[in-house]
Amino acid sequence: MGGSVKVLWAPWRMEYILSPKGKGCFICDAIEHPDEEETLVLHMAVGEGIVLLNRYPYNPGHILVAPMRHVANLGDLSPYERGHLMELLNLSIRVVWEVMNPEGFNVGMNLGKVAGAGLKDHLHLHLVPRWGGDTNFMPLLADVKVVPEHLKSTYGKLRRAFQKAIGG
């Protein structure tokens, strides 16, 4: 490769690097304070579940869908709760598709710390919009992910779209 080393600044990562880990549940905090912008709540269906923007997204529009109850395993939810979790996931897909026009989605759960769960005690689904060419060499070479839109911009667009979708 030769030549000088190029520097890519990603100052937003310092918030995550320096933030305290393992203290409380950010999903439960969001449930307690859904109207505070910093919780990134997009939609909350009381008694059913919550949809929030991921603070450290893989791609713009990376959403978390979680039950209201603080449980770690899918089997700990009632059939009613599991059904509502899927309804919130479906609503989230519709809204993100309309607002961000992705070419597809990854949907998944990280169950347990070894599976990559950053929050292993409050079950949640990840909804990650995907576009052709949205991954590149940066994560491999520099341990950096380039996200092309500011989190607050994404939040504003999606929050308005959720409100419109549910008639609010």
Residues annotated catalytic, as ranges: 124
Distance CA 104, CA 96 (A): 10
Side chain identity at residue 42, one-letter code: L
Other beta carbons within 10 Å of 48: 15
**Among residues 110, 114, 103, 107, which one has the least CA distance to residue 89?**
107
Interior angle at CA 32, CA 27 and CA 36, nearest 5? 90
Q: How many residues make up the chain in this entry?
A: 168
Distance CA 91, CA 99 (A): 12
